[in-house]
Structure formats: C-alpha cells, structure tokens
C-alpha cells in the first residue's frame, strides 16, 4: 500500500500539477487576505482568518475536483486500470493509498497558507484557537470533497467529466443553507432540522468561531468513510466484472 501511496504522491510532485494547484490556492488566499486588510477601517476591531475560508469556499472547493479528477479516470483511459485491479493489493488498500496521497497534497496546500497568519502574528495578534479550529474544519470538509471527487472519477473514464460533476455536486453543498433558509422549508421544522443536520457549511461555522464540537468531527469523518466505502464497492464490482 505504501508503495502505491508513494507512486501516487510522486505523480503529483514530479509534475507541475501539484505546484500549479498550490499556487492557485495561494493566489486565492493571498487575494482575499490583501482585500480584507485593505478594507479595514478604524471601526473594525479585528481581522479574522476564518472569514477568508468561509467567504471563499466557492473558489477553494473549485480546486478539489481538479485535484481528484485523475485519480481513477486516467487509469481507465490509459488502460492501466486492469493492471491495478489485478495487483495483489486489495481494492480497499488501492482506494486508501490514492485517497491519502491526495489528502497529503491538500494538506501541503493548506500548510503553505500558514505564511499569512505567522506573518500577521509577527506584526500583530492572531486568535490561534479560532484559526486552528478553522483550519481543522476546512480540512475535514476537504476530506469529504476529496472522497466525493474520487468516487466520481472511479465512475467515469473522463477526467474532465469527473471534474465537472465534482464541481456541480460540491458547489451544490453550498446551496444547502440557502435552501434551508427558504420559507417553504422553515414551514416544516422537521425538514429544516434535517437540512441543518446535513449542512457542512453550518458545521464549519462552529469551527470558524473556535468551537470544537465532537458531533461535527464525527459527521465529517463518517461522511468521508461512507463515500470511501461506496468507492471501494464501485471498484470492487468492476474488478469482479473484469475477472
């Protein structure tokens, strides 16, 4: 499993792919950081890094399907999927190795943005408790999105189609709060409660406020595990069909 993880990681960092996406991630973060600083006035008491993540989810999540689109689609398109599925590794280990390699790249992208809070801390004050929770919340949300992106990549032989479907689904998660705020949904308390429960954006709000809730951690990890299991089942089914 480690050899496959290493191979997948090398495919990212031995090509411009990971560096371009990291640069794009940093560019979005930098632009938001500079804009937030420039818009500060004498009435503004503090600058909030969690707001950068919250206000730019649309752009940050846009990057993740690009990161995951090649995970399985390229294997099918290149004809190497048969070799992968007939290897001694179990499907579970194959999926986990690919998942962990993408998570590693995503973590590196997030670590690169630590330059900004560290620089701010050297010249002012940073609410580290809120910042750490915001990073954790965004990372957990990213895990779910990575799992979804990989599942879509395993269901199609086109990386472009996988990326487009991923964008639609992931951006659709941002509309859950808007749907939950409509008069129709508010008229049915049970429906409103159900939508609030599945809203990842609302759960991130607690992290951004420096509140670590065990139920939110369990929700994100459980959602990630469920989607990974779906991915394993989908590939296992295809593996048996090849047999």
**Residue 162 in domain:** yes
Instruction: Report the predicted TM-score, pTM, of the whole model to 2 decimal places.
Output: 0.86
**Residue 164 in domain:** yes
> The domain containing residue 97 runs over which residues?
2-28+48-242
**Residue 63 in domain:** yes
How many structural domains comprise the chain? 1
At residue 158, the 3 state secondary structure works out as coil
For residues 156 and 71, the answer to whether their CB atoms sit within 8 Å is no
Burial-class residue 241 by CB neighbours within 10 Å (0-12, 13-18, 19+).
exposed
For residues 48 and 54, the answer to whether their CB atoms sit within 8 Å is no
**Residue 40 in domain:** no
**Residue 33 in domain:** no
Over its length of 243 residues, how does the chain's per-residue pLDDT go in tens digits? Answer: 778 888 888 888 888 888 888 898 888 888 877 777 766 664 444 556 667 776 677 777 788 888 888 888 777 776 666 667 677 778 888 899 999 999 999 999 889 888 888 887 787 777 777 788 888 888 998 899 999 999 998 888 788 888 888 888 887 777 776 676 666 666 667 766 776 677 777 788 788 777 888 888 999 999 999 999 999 888 888 777 655
**Residue 175 in domain:** yes
């Amino acid at each position: 499993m480690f050899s496959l993880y290493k191979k997948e990681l090398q495919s990212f960092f031995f090509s411009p792919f990971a560096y371009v996406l990291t640069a794009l991630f940093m560019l979005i973060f930098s632009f938001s950081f500079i804009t937030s600083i420039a818009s500060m006035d004498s009435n503004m008491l503090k600058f909030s890094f969690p707001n950068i993540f919250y206000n730019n989810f649309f752009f940050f999540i846009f990057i993740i399907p690009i990161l995951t689109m090649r995970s399985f689609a390229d294997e099918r398109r290149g004809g190497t999927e048969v070799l992968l599925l007939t290897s001694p590794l179990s499907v579970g280990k194959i999926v986990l190795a690919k998942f962990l390699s993408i998570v590693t790249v995503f973590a590196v992208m997030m670590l690169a943005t630590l330059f900004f809070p560290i620089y701010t801390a050297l010249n002012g004050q940073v609410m580290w408790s809120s910042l750490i929770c915001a990073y954790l919340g965004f990372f957990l949300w990213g895990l779910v999105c990575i799992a979804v992106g990989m599942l879509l990549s395993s269901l199609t032989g086109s990386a472009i189609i996988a990326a487009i479907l991923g964008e639609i689904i992931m951006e659709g998660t941002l509309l859950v709060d808007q749907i939950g705020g409509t008069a129709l949904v508010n008229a049915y308390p049970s429906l409103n409660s159900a939508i609030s429960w599945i809203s990842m954006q609302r759960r991130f709000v607690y992290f951004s406020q420096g509140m670590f809730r065990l139920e939110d951690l369990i929700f994100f990890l459980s959602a990630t595990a469920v989607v990974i299991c779906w991915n394993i089942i989908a590939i296992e089914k295809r593996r048996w069909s090849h047999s």
